[in-house]
A and B are shown apart, each in its own frame.
Chain A
Amino acid sequence: MKKLINAADTVVTDALAGVAAAHPSLSVDVVNKVILRAGGPTAGKVGLVSGGGSGHEPLHGGFVGYGMLDAACPGEVFTSPVPDQMLLATKAVNGGAGVLHIVKNYTGDVLNFQMAAELADDEDIEVASVIVNDDVAVEDSLYTAGRRGVGATVFMEKIAGALAEQGAGLASVAAVAREVNERSRSFGVALSSCATPAAGKPTFELGDSEIELGIGIHGEPGRTRGPMRSARELAAIALDAIGADIALDGELLVMVNGMGGTPLIELYVMYNEVASAIAARGGRITRNLVGNYITSLEMQGFSVTVCGLTPELTRLWDAPVDTPALRWGR
């Protein structure tokens, strides 16, 4: 598969050099692979660190900046970063009020962040960790690694970031992050696979008229394979799955997210169907995002994430944010 790269093994560092060149508001350590806000830690503010495999851009590096993350640790493509990166980021963003780790629920991310938190504790930095696990396609049981963290990560980073920016303490920031996770659910559909630069070919094969339902964000197959359907039918499948788990009434924050290879015109077609389906189920979308926010390389497809809002969560969502990928109010 053709890719705009120099070499498969320099993709992550070459991209980080590009991020550094494009965004003077960020301080990028290309060698150790950490993206920080320029200007160092904010004294007295809780620091927010997230991280995960690369290939999900703009997540997480695109969300570093005022009102959102203080640091992001990108791993190799689809591979969790290592504890050294997370420790470096944690120390760099510690303004004396403690550091929140936002961790998507994948075995690798959880284990590496756990090790990093222990190392930070050895250096007397207070760390709280919040796990994101919003994907309804995975049964949360003893028989799986638990639900994956997907779209709700964006909501959590925005809302917890806003509260931290307003000076709240570590326990409050962690609590609002957990609240966002509990109130959010996601479901994803793939129309194509994707190819990691190192592998060079698609992770799985999908026929012209087939789709994968219940995918995550790593080009992995979903729960089931089925025939291609209309946008309206796909919206119904996604919202039936989400609605089986949380109430779709009241005020909602809804994201229709592209997996990386789907044009915006199709995402708006999907958003229209999602909005109609939610209205039909008694919900009211009061805030939304449409676009590529948490991707899986060049995979075609979409995910829907729904979060039940409260007045406080709406206020935090609306608070000013200034990052490469999310910017308003400032």
Chain B
Amino acid sequence: MNTAVFRAWIVSAAEVIEANRDHLTQLDAAIGDADHGINLARGFAAVTAAIDGAATPGAVLTVTGSTLISKVGGASGPLYGVAFRRAGKALGTAPEADLPALGQALEAALAGVQQLGAAREGDKTMVDALAPATRAFGKAIADGAPAADALSALAAAAEAGAAATVSMQARKGRASYLGPRSVGHEDPGAASTALILAALRDAVIRDAGA
């Protein structure tokens, strides 16, 4: 996977966040403060312009992270920012990233998010999408799955993880203030993580088919 694939991922992530802007904001209205879609869309709109000059897969992700930190605000800005920056640093300056390298980047992203946000699985946060997705991807490549299958496993696990947040009571972030009233709603951060990872799957599959 070369720089063009990573750039295509980020551009398509920006499109899918924009398309789901109101949906994510509605999820946030139920258990937060009704701005998740608005803030992420603003951040990713800035990202698509910023990644033009990035020359490697690692640089694309690092610039994405830095831009999100500068533009999003809230908790999601630093958390997504650190996720992309750590993933970018894990990829280093190599001109291409293979599946194991991508797996390590995902693990670095997850570690960064957990270190900064101190959230564990089951807390009803983006970790509930990112952690199972990272595990499913690691298992798929360990089993020798081809790229398309490994990426499909990644996106499916993220989506299932986001859906599973509906029944959880939030223990981190603004939704935790609601206590038991947070149960019955999908976590907006887990939902946006699933969308971003689905965009990664689509970018890689499009590249393989091209």
Q: Do the beta carbons of B77 and A77 come within 8 Å of each other? A: no
Q: Do the beta carbons of A115 and B69 come within 8 Å of each other? A: yes
Q: Which of B160-210 contact A (CB under 8 A)?
A: 169, 171-174, 176-179, 181
Q: Given that A139-B179, A145-B177, A220-B177 are known contacts, is A196 also in contact with B34, CB under 8 Å in the complex?
A: yes
Q: Do the beta carbons of B70 and A144 come within 8 Å of each other? A: no
Complexed CA–CA distance, A203 and B179 (Å): 18
Q: Do the beta carbons of A199 and B75 come within 8 Å of each other? A: no
Q: Which of B105-155 contact A (CB under 8 A)?
A: 116-117
Binary interface profile of A, 59-94, with partner B (CB < 8 Å = 1, else 0)? 000000000000000011111111110000000000
- Is A128 positioned at the interface, with any CB of B under 8 Å from its CB? no
- Is A143 positioned at the interface, with any CB of B under 8 Å from its CB? yes
Contacts of B69 in A (CB 8 A): 82-83, 115
Complexed CA–CA distance, A143 and B172 (Å): 7
Q: Do the beta carbons of B74 and A216 come within 8 Å of each other? A: no
Q: Do the beta carbons of B181 and A221 come within 8 Å of each other? A: yes
Closest CB-CB distance, B165 to chain A, in whole Å?
16
Chain B, interface SS category: helix
Closest CB-CB distance, A192 to chain B, in whole Å?
15
Closest CB-CB distance, A40 to chain B, in whole Å?
25
Q: Which of B53-104 contact A (CB under 8 A)?
A: 69-79
Q: Do the beta carbons of A203 and B33 come within 8 Å of each other? A: yes
Complexed CA–CA distance, A138 and B38 (Å): 26
Q: Given that A79-B73, A82-B71, A199-B25 are known contacts, is A111 also in contact with B117, CB under 8 Å in the complex?
A: yes
- Is A268 positioned at the interface, with any CB of B under 8 Å from its CB? no
Out of B32, B72, B75, B177, name the residue touching A144 (CB < 8 Å): B177
Complexed CA–CA distance, A111 and B189 (Å): 16
Q: Given that A198-B35, A204-B29 are known contacts, is A108 also in contact with B177, CB under 8 Å in the complex?
A: no
Interface centre among B34, B72, B181 (most CB of A within 10 A): B34
Complexed CA–CA distance, A198 and B171 (Å): 27
Q: Do the beta carbons of A80 and B25 come within 8 Å of each other? A: no
Contacts of A78 in B (CB 8 A): 33-35
Q: Given that A75-B73, A79-B39, A84-B70 are known contacts, is A144 also in contact with B176, CB under 8 Å in the complex?
A: yes
Q: Do the beta carbons of A218 and B179 come within 8 Å of each other? A: no
Closest CB-CB distance, A83 to chain B, in whole Å?
6
- Is A112 positioned at the interface, with any CB of B under 8 Å from its CB? yes
Contact count A vs B, C-beta below 8 Å: 106
Closest CB-CB distance, B189 to chain A, in whole Å?
10
We find that the number of chain B residues with CB closer than 8 angstroms to chain A is 32
Closest CB-CB distance, B125 to chain A, in whole Å?
9
Contacts of B35 in A (CB 8 A): 76-79, 196, 198-199
- Is A148 positioned at the interface, with any CB of B under 8 Å from its CB? yes
Complexed CA–CA distance, A80 and B69 (Å): 11
Closest CB-CB distance, B122 to chain A, in whole Å?
11
Q: Given that A144-B171, A218-B174 are known contacts, is A115 also in contact with B78, CB under 8 Å in the complex?
A: yes
Closest CB-CB distance, A224 to chain B, in whole Å?
8
Contacts of A81 in B (CB 8 A): 73
Contacts of A216 in B (CB 8 A): 177
Q: Do the beta carbons of A145 and B73 come within 8 Å of each other? A: no
Interface centre among A83, A144, A223 (most CB of B within 10 A): A144
Complexed CA–CA distance, A112 and B42 (Å): 17
Q: For B172, give the chain A residue with the smallest CB separation.
A: A145
Out of B32, B116, B177, name the residue touching A148 (CB < 8 Å): B177
Contacts of A53 in B (CB 8 A): 73-74
Q: Do the beta carbons of A108 and B77 come within 8 Å of each other? A: yes
Q: Do the beta carbons of B78 and A220 come within 8 Å of each other? A: no
Q: Which of A200-218 contact B (CB under 8 A)?
A: 203-204, 216, 218
Contacts of B34 in A (CB 8 A): 78, 196, 199, 203, 219
Complexed CA–CA distance, A68 and B72 (Å): 28
Complexed CA–CA distance, A223 and B72 (Å): 28
Q: For A216, give the chain B residue with the smallest CB separation.
A: B177
Contacts of A143 in B (CB 8 A): 169, 171, 176, 179
Q: Do the beta carbons of B171 and A220 come within 8 Å of each other? A: no
Q: Given that A78-B35, A83-B69, A203-B29 are known contacts, is A108 also in contact with B74, CB under 8 Å in the complex?
A: yes
Interface centre among B25, B72, B169 (most CB of A within 10 A): B72
- 6 inter-chain pairs at a CB distance below 8 angstroms, sorted by A residue, are A78-B35, A83-B69, A107-B75, A111-B77, A219-B34, A220-B177
Minimum-distance CB pairs A-B, first 7: A108-B74, A108-B75, A107-B75, A111-B78, A144-B176, A218-B33, A79-B73
